A and B are shown apart, each in its own frame.
Chain A
């Protein structure tokens, strides 16, 4: 188990864990304002429900995703979406990666 790596100090630790990076990358492809149901996200990411919940909670604590409970008819539904802050953090993360690869590029 590696914690946040010292060689990459500028990378956002919330996103830098592989599992959460996958979650955020996936959510970033949905249109702004779209919300995806938890089981569908789980199916797309091929993660267990428990694992996905844990990572979503961490992302939620950071204000990067918003998880809303609602009802579709009588069945309860959990909807997930990337917040504006999460989108910004992801964009920053990606440009930091690019800077690390090629220091002449990015911000």
Chain B
């Protein structure tokens, strides 16, 4: 029984502490790949489809049915939202207190933001020219995502998350200024790519 065994080497004790702390963090925080990759793929695929269908200057680069881009965006967003919600909740299971309340409040902020924008855009859709519809929906939703990631960085003092949010915000604003079609391309490649990179970097850091 090594129940009361001690470490006589202080360096070894420090290493044990560090090892145990890293181990706990790995258990109680979600794998960054699970949190970012579903969104990265969602953006890459659905904004990619949007670019192909509603290309710059209203050209359809590929003659997809009109409903494809928005339907794929909606379906993939719901899937990614459920997936990351479950993955996030799983890592915090059986831990109660301020941090789980923080997580729940943050999750609700996302839902509130998305719902609010969907209601607003749905309400004004009829008076907006078709050529700007995709820009309005895409640009509006991505603005929200960028801001919420930056806020998440502030909540958890997570510099990576803040940088990701800032990157998304910049990419999005540049895309909006560039115009319809181009916005979808930029968000698909740079935004989706940024999310995939964030998942990879976060995962490599915690290994």
Contact = CB atoms under 8 A, between A and B. Distances in A.
Interface string A10-44: 00000011110110011011111111110110011
A34 B95 contact: yes
B100 interface: yes
A107 interface: no
Contacts of A36: 94-95
B21 A17 contact: no
B122 interface: no
A84 interface: no
A35 B7 CA distance: 28
Interface of B: 1-8, 10-11, 13-14, 16-17, 20-21, 23-25, 27-28, 93-100
Q: Is the interface of B mostly helix, strand, loop or mixed?
A: helix
Nearest to A96: B10
Interface of A: 1-5, 7-8, 16-19, 21-22, 25-26, 28-37, 39-40, 43-45, 51, 54-55, 79, 81, 94, 97-98, 100-101
A4 B28 CA distance: 32
Given A26-B20, A33-B98, A79-B96, A94 B4 contact: no
A28 B21 contact: yes
A29 B98 contact: no
B98 A31 contact: yes
B100 A34 contact: yes
A9 to B, nearest CB: 12
Contacts of B7: 18, 21
B97 A35 contact: yes
A17 B4 contact: yes
A51 B3 contact: yes
Which one of A22, A28, A51 has the highest number of Cβ atoms from chain B below 10 Å of its Cβ? A22
Closest 10 CB pairs of A and B: A34-B97, A37-B94, A40-B94, A25-B20, A100-B10, A97-B10, A31-B99, A25-B17, A29-B24, A26-B24
B157 to A, nearest CB: 11
B95 A37 contact: yes
Which one of B13, B14, B100 has the highest number of Cβ atoms from chain A below 10 Å of its Cβ? B13
A21 B8 contact: no
7 contacts: A4-B6, A16-B6, A34-B98, A37-B96, A43-B27, A45-B20, A98-B14
A36 B14 CA distance: 23
A28 B28 CA distance: 13
